[in-house]
Structure 1
Amino acid sequence: MSSTHSARHLRAALAPVIAAHICLHAAMTGMRMAAPLFALSHGFGEAAAGVLVALFAVTQIFLSLPAGRFADRRGFKKPMGLAVIATVVGVSLAAIWPVYPVLCLTALLCGGAAGAATIALQRHVGRMAAGASELREVFSWVAIAPAASNFLGPFAAGLMIDHGGYRAAFAMLAAMPLLAWALLRRVHEAPIEATRGAQKAPAWDLLRDRGLRRLMLMNWFMNSSWDLHGFMVPLLGHERGLSASVIGSILGAFAIAAAIVRLMIPVFARQMREWALITGATAVAGLMFLLYPFTRSAETMGLCSVVIGMALGLVQPMVMSMLHQITPKHRHGEALAVRLILINLSSVGMPMLFGAVGGVLGASGVFWAMGTIVGVGSHLGTGLRGLGEDAAEHK
């Protein structure tokens, strides 16, 4: 009965945090869709629109480590408050003065704020959990927020652009972070651990830990597979002669499968082991990539997409759970920052690599190459065995 009460209390405490994350992140995703559309509709070329999109990721690469250290020192609400201010200022500037240079500044502010908020939020919810099973549960719930905001932000911005114009859309997006702050005002924050006696070391020193290196590598497999699927499925579908709506449906099936499997994780959290799920899911993803080029119909491509979505949807909450268990508490923010930097570097570089390899080998060759790398590399996940709950006891 006490465990049921504890679970209800945890979900009640998580609700405003997740809702606030959706509101703040939706402002960024809405701008990431609206800003390049504004540029294209006002005579700027595709290159200029591409620069705008890239700027949302640039600041996350450079600001993640300072943001992680700041979260370790100052906790949850202060980083979130600064992220809200940066987002409101950035989007409001676009609403007041919608010109290309201002949109570039808006992209930098919104992207950096979203990255800093994500680090602070992930660090905070990791402290809300008591034990490994609760870590798996909270991160499965938190992982749903980006998916929701990726839908809410662009959808709301698109409706407002069609009915009120770009300035109205920017003004609406500027209000979302204010709602996020209203939700966070009553959130209880865990005490910040004293770190006076802790040795100050470079953040990248964390990667000297073999277990963390393996975890980051498995996380890279997951993120690269996610990027590969989103980038290459349209190319493969075009080779198969599929329509844009069918290709969109295949990608939509992937996203829905990833979200559904995360909703299921809390039900089975106490029976799960992170290392086994990470290893198995990565191996399944690698196998599906090998099989993908042999699919000849939209139905079989959709089936592969669903299986890959379920496999990759499992991995992120498990990675986040293990990261909080094997990293010292006073360095959680730094570890999360290192992970976010690696993700953004991969998201910037891997599509270019996929495009270059695809030009030589074709879409099928890219799937086979990535499937081999991910499938063979999945065995590295077995090295994570014993690093979860056992490691948490010694942190």
Structure 2
Amino acid sequence: MSRAGRASPPGGGWRGGGTAVLLAHAVGTQALTFVLRPVMSYRAIELDVPTAWLGVLGAAFAIAPLALAIPAGHGADRYGERRMAVAGAVLFAAASVTFVVAGQSVAGLVLAGVLLGTGHLGCVIAQQALVANTTPRGGYDAAFGRYTFAASLGQAAGPGLIAAFGGGQAIPDTGGVFRWSCLLGVMLLALSAFLPSSPRRSAQDGGGEVGLRALLRLPGLGRALVTSCVVLAALDVTIVYLPALGAERGLASGTVGLLLVVRGVASMVSRFFLGRLSHAVGRRRLLVGSTTGAALGLLLVPLPSPLWVLAALLLVVGFGLGVGQPLTMSWLAEAAPPGLRGRAMSLRLVGNRTGQVLIPSAAGLVAAGLGAAGVLWVTALGLGCVSAAARGLPADRG
């Protein structure tokens, strides 16, 4: 890892007229995802789906994208980010319609979850490849910090919409949320049409298989991918099982939504200052420290505590989880050669999706015996393990 990656100037990163469109697209993508996924859990609760099945619904979000991530990255490299974003937005709209039309059954929820996950994949691959391909070397930490800050803004806004649809009730108006998501999907599609594309550049080793082999030889790749995978899975588990924990404790859905907002805002803060934080302490130390803090916070969340303590713990969890994703993106963007950065981001997403398939499904088995609290404790243990593994990442060279 070069010093450029560590010491990127706080204001470094991409510029241009398309920046506002890119950031708005990131906000819209995450807002739509983070309102639909918790509400999918609430609809499952309405249908009296067993708690163990919530993990299966969470895994549905990642099943198809797991197989499509590498082709999507190759498509972004070959055909451009805009086309990939348009395809993702179309699938987002299709998912919203499926929730409205077929969301009265578990099969319908699974189908909608698959469409939602695939649409999310297309949009985020396009966004991440665009940031990687248009950021000058030395500005990745700050650029991906701003990009993921916008994503966190969407993640915070999405659950906040739950409060507008019966937040004072244990179960919000899921049908109303699904109908409004159709409009949001159309708005995202319109934004996609205005998203810029970077100039196409060929990697020296060119072909897909050769390019992937070059990426897989990067030092520390395995540790970085596992860290990214577990951090994202921890975020997913929080989204899926915090509503279940709240229902067990009798918390109103609006309160749970606000707690998810607190987590999202904390992630926004950590990402907004990511360039400065990375410059001050280095990527590896920042990654290890933030992951450890998130693990400790998540370990304490299930314990009986006043609401303000729970909010404070989720503040710590959100801050810690907010750092892992942009740092691994920045590391990959800097290490990958031009023409392979879309595939580099897709390789990272393959690891993320693998975790999203396996970890929530395993969490469902834990929930069957220990409930939502047990799931959060096991997730905290996983974060502690990857925090220890991240110590073996290549050191920042000064």
Taking structure 1 as the reference length, what is the TM-score of the superposition? 0.75
- Bigger Rg, which one: 1
Residue 337 of structure 2 corresponds to residue 310 of structure 1: no
Aligned to 2:142: 137
Q: Contact 1:253 / 1:305 at 8 angstroms: preserved in 2? A: yes
Deviations 1:7-28 (A, max 9, x none): 5972765222111233355555
Q: Contact 1:283 / 1:378 at 8 angstroms: preserved in 2? A: yes
Change (3 A) 1:11 1:384: farther
Deviations 1:298-334 (A, max 9, x none): 3333322211211111221111111212233333222
Change (3 A) 1:313 1:292: same
Count of aligned positions? 379
Aligned to 1:393: none
Residue 118 of structure 2 corresponds to residue 118 of structure 1: no
Shift of 1:210: 4.2
Which residue among 192, 196, 216 is the counterpart of 2:225? 216
Aligned to 2:81: 76
What are structure 1's unaligned runs of at least 5 residues?
391-395
Aligned to 1:257: 266
SS in 2 for 1:296: coil
Aligned to 2:192: 181
Deviations 1:44-95 (A, max 9, x none): 7748x97877544332122111101111222322322333444456657888
Give the partner amino acid of 1:216.
L
Shift of 1:370: 4.3
Partners of 2:343 and 2:124 lie apart in 1 by 12
Which residue among 338, 342, 345 is the counterpart of 1:336? 345
Shift of 1:141: 1.5
Change (3 A) 1:286 1:39: closer
Deviations 1:146-178 (A, max 9, x none): 33334556777997998x978963652342134
Aligned to 1:324: 333
Aligned to 1:23: 28
Partners of 2:135 and 2:11 lie apart in 1 by 10
Aligned to 2:357: 348
SS in 2 for 1:385: coil
Change (3 A) 1:11 1:306: farther
Give the partner amino acid of 1:256.
V
Partners of 2:109 and 2:377 lie apart in 1 by 39
Partners of 2:387 and 2:114 lie apart in 1 by 35
Partners of 2:240 and 2:100 lie apart in 1 by 31
Instruction: Flag the structure with more relative contact order, 1 or 2, with Cα contacts below 8 A and sequence separation at least 6.
Output: 2
Shift of 1:359: 4.7
Change (3 A) 1:5 1:265: closer
Give the partner amino acid of 1:175.
V
Deviations 1:89-146 (A, max 9, x none): 66578889999899876654443232022112101101222233x2111111211333
Larger fraction in helix: 1
Partners of 1:272 and 1:357 lie apart in 2 by 37
Identity in percent: 25
SS in 2 for 1:200: helix
What are structure 2's unaligned runs of at least 5 residues?
1-7, 166-171
Shift of 1:356: 2.8
Q: Which moved more, 1:92-101 or 1:121-130?
A: 92-101
Aligned to 2:154: 149
Q: Which moved more, 1:366-375 or 1:338-347?
A: 366-375
Q: Contact 2:292 / 2:384 at 8 angstroms: preserved in 1? A: yes
Aligned CA-pair RMSD? 4.4
Partners of 2:380 and 2:179 lie apart in 1 by 45
Change (3 A) 1:113 1:322: same
Taking structure 2 as the reference length, what is the TM-score of the superposition? 0.75
Aligned to 1:275: 284
Shift of 1:179: 2.5
Partners of 1:294 and 1:92 lie apart in 2 by 39
Q: Contact 2:150 / 2:268 at 8 angstroms: preserved in 1? A: no
Change (3 A) 1:85 1:328: same
SS in 1 for 2:186: helix
Partners of 2:81 and 2:155 lie apart in 1 by 23
Aligned to 2:3: none
Shift of 1:212: 0.5
Shift of 1:228: 4.1
Partners of 1:35 and 1:246 lie apart in 2 by 17
Which residue among 36, 61, 64 is the counterpart of 1:59? 64
Give the partner amino acid of 2:151.
P
